[in-house]
Amino acid sequence: MKNKALLSRTALTAGALAAAISFSASAAPVTEETAKNIALENAGQKAEDVTFLKLKSDIENNRRVFEVKFLTTDQVEYDYEILESDGTILSIDYDISVISSQSQGAGAAISMEQAKTMALEQAKEKTENVTFVKEETDYDYSFPIYEMEFHTSDSKKYKYEFNGNTGAVISWEYDGWGCLLAGENTQSPDNTNSGTLGKGDAISGMEGAKSAALKKAGLKDSDVIWKKLERDRENGRLVYKGEFVRGSLEYEFEIDGATGEFLEWDVEIDD
């Protein structure tokens, strides 16, 4: 849901990215302040050099997490989800505000195959342990953008975007939820982590998903513009995902098809 204008993103250097792809957990539950420090250390930033945009405790997939979002002085935005029970980093999203119309970063032109190799090296993953589910080249700009997504054998997900002219990484995301859930799918969360974002009845198809989301938002179908509505399976579970806009607000959700539980619910100002 973030602004994805690529012409103004700065490049994340290979060294900085390699340092960022580290998801070590601590031995004890973390506090709000600890979560901030985990995110800052992972991003290689200092508290005095960033502006915190979000810092709150929330429930995701029946686990309590800290959501930490901050903006650096050079307009790079980091968004983290950190497991409250032990400090595991479950997701990272790196993006930059639109500040110019020029691509930044200098280096040699690369091919898609070279970009894939670079992504695997920086994510510290091996070719034999991943499956590429997306490989696309975007020519909408004055330089080619290589877009890719790959999943690991233990259900981690990575997304990358490279500047084809310079070899610079211009966007990356990490999602470790699948790995966590795959390892805990036979366990029940403890009482302190048992909250949900809202439950209902089983969803009866796409229209049922729409109705549930609109009811939660307190809106009618005629009030909104739908951008996405799809059915998917995640870890063997049927889910419905959607996005819609009402005025300047953009809503994004994910619903468990079997229980009607909202697994994700996000409302942001539409850029």
pLDDT at position 98, please? 47
Length of the chain: 271
pLDDT at 179: 82
List, for residues 142-180, the tens digit of each pLDDT value. Answer: 788 999 999 998 889 999 988 888 888 888 899 998 888
Note the pLDDT of residue 10.
38
Tokens of 112: 């898609």
The string of pLDDT tens digits covering residues 98-125 is 423 334 455 678 999 999 999 999 899 9
- 39 pLDDT more than 80: yes
Which region among 1-10, 63-72, 95-104, 215-224 has the lowest average model confidence (pLDDT)?
A: 1-10
Residue 180 to residue 5: CA distance in whole angstroms: 31
Per residue in 183-233, pLDDT (tens digit) is 654 343 333 333 344 556 788 888 899 999 999 889 999 999 999 999 888
CA atoms of 58 and 67, how far apart (whole Å): 7
Q: What is the per-residue DSSP string for 110-174? A: --HHHHHHHHHHHHT--GGGEEEEEEEEE-SSSS-EEEEEEEETTS-EEEEEEETTT--EEEEEE
Q: Which residues contact 246 (CB under 8 A, 6 or more apart)?
A: 217, 219, 223, 224, 225
Residues 6+ apart with CB under 8 A from 47: 36, 40
pTM over 0.95: no
Place of tokens 């032990």: 86
In this predicted structure, the answer to whether residue 35 has a pLDDT above a threshold of 50 is yes
> Contact, 227 vs 245, CB < 8 A?
yes
The rounded mean pLDDT for the chain is: 79
State the pLDDT at residue 92.
94
